[in-house]
Structure 1
Amino acid sequence: MPRWARLAATGAALTNVPSALWRVAIAVGVPVGLAQSEYDQMHAPGWGSYYLVGLSLVSEFFGFLALGLVRSWGETWPRWIPYLRGRRVPVMVATTLAGLGALATTVFGALFVHTSINAADMAASAWGTWLLNIVYAPLLLWGPLLGAVTVHYYRRRTYVVQG
């Protein structure tokens, strides 16, 4: 496995961590530079915290899946998965899902940049806006990193040695 592919997969998996931690901070009521009206609108802390933590967990899960493109469990289903254990992961299923994920996260990143540049409807202090941009900026890399690793995975798994 080339070093660049391992680093790109790890990078894709880690791009979610700053924004997830930011959302969890909001969920537990840590001040992140937002106005009280923003916390109230998100119902955080409170029942809205479940959504914020859930969104963080889901994004971390999908980020973690990028590692499967460079690890053995991305080629053969792990033993703990009933009915699939030990079987080969279908290349087209993995690459199609990862490719769609790369496309979706790239579009999300572009929309985030467009939104943050054009107007923040959020009531936040200057440092709160700065922090928001800092924690979400790594998401710009998620799609391209995942796309590169997906292409590498496809090529590695479908390459047939010609004799």
Structure 2
Amino acid sequence: MSKLVANVRNTAHRVRAAVPAAPVVPPAPRWAELAAKAAVWTTVPSGVWRIAFGFGVPVGFTGATAARYAEHQPGWGTVYVVVLSALAESLAFLTVGLVRPWGQVAPGWIPLIGGRRVPPLAAIVPAALGSAVLTAMGLLSLFGGWARNMAEPDSPRGFAALVMTLAYLPLVVWGPLLGAVTIDFARRTLRRR
């Protein structure tokens, strides 16, 4: 039994020695941690609204639009909105990796890459692109698409329109929050190179 324990220890030591150590990176400032957490929360209200809509809760659509959605909810429409909401929340949660150690060294439970150092550009490039796309989409929605969609005759009116607007409005700041956290991450991780 003691020989087995010794073999396990030797193997663990060899594995640790084979994994390159991550460079020392200063911790994220408090504002970056708060911005990363806020980015995660920006997707929650629209996800809750979307899932309620997917399960057939009347959210204010009328006429042909309501009829078109009603035939798929509950059903494939429900699956679609749940998956879309989970995907948005998962992507937003990746922002936290820019202020936590698992954004620099992959967690050990991840197959094939667990315990390995994450090259900074492997996080910076997708995060910067995501920030640019999300910021552009937010601005386009805020200054064009939203008003046009709400002008449709079947769109929610009154209180239902207010609820939908309040649910989707936080998404406008997701891109800028991700951008700020990405800039901080780049500043901290690329400084030592």
- TM-score computed with the length of structure 1 as normaliser: 0.92
Q: Are 1:86 and 2:118 matched, yes or no? A: no
> What is the alpha-carbon distance in structure 2 between the residues aligned to residue 3 and residue 109 of structure 1?
25
Quick check: 120-129 or 13-22, which moved more?
A: 120-129
Q: Which has the larger radius of gyration?
A: 2
Partner of 2:169: 137
* Structure 1 residue ranges without an equivalent (≥5): none
- Cα offset for 1:124? 1.7
AA at the equivalent of 2:44: V
> What is the alpha-carbon distance in structure 2 between the residues aligned to residue 73 and residue 40 of structure 1?
46
Q: Residues 86 and 159 from structure 1, CA distance in 2 versus in 1: closer, same or farther, beyond 3 angstroms?
A: same
Partner of 2:68: 41
Q: Residues 39 and 54 from structure 1, CA distance in 2 versus in 1: closer, same or farther, beyond 3 angstroms?
A: farther
- 1:88-127 aligned at under 5 Å gives the runs 88-113=117-142, 114-120=144-150, 121=152, 122-127=154-159
AA at the equivalent of 2:45: P
> What is the alpha-carbon distance in structure 2 between the residues aligned to residue 44 and residue 36 of structure 1?
16
Give the alignment partner of residue 54 of structure 2, picking from 17, 27, 31.
27
Aligned-residue Cα RMSD (Å) equals: 1.6
Stretches (4+) displaced over 6 A: none
Q: Residues 91 and 145 from structure 1, CA distance in 2 versus in 1: closer, same or farther, beyond 3 angstroms?
A: same
Question: Is residue 12–residue 146 contact of structure 1 (8 Å, CA) maintained in 2?
Answer: yes
Residues 44-89 of structure 1, C-alpha deviation per residue, up to 9 Å, x if partnerless?
Answer: 2222111111110110110110000001110100001112111111
Secondary structure (helix, strand or coil) at the match of 1:152 reads helix
Aligned length: 161
AA at the equivalent of 1:118: R
Question: Is residue 39–residue 45 contact of structure 1 (8 Å, CA) maintained in 2?
Answer: no
> What is the alpha-carbon distance in structure 2 between the residues aligned to residue 5 and residue 34 of structure 1?
38
* Structure 2 residue ranges without an equivalent (≥5): 1-27
- TM-score computed with the length of structure 2 as normaliser: 0.78
Give the alignment partner of residue 58 of structure 1, picking from 87, 97, 102.
87
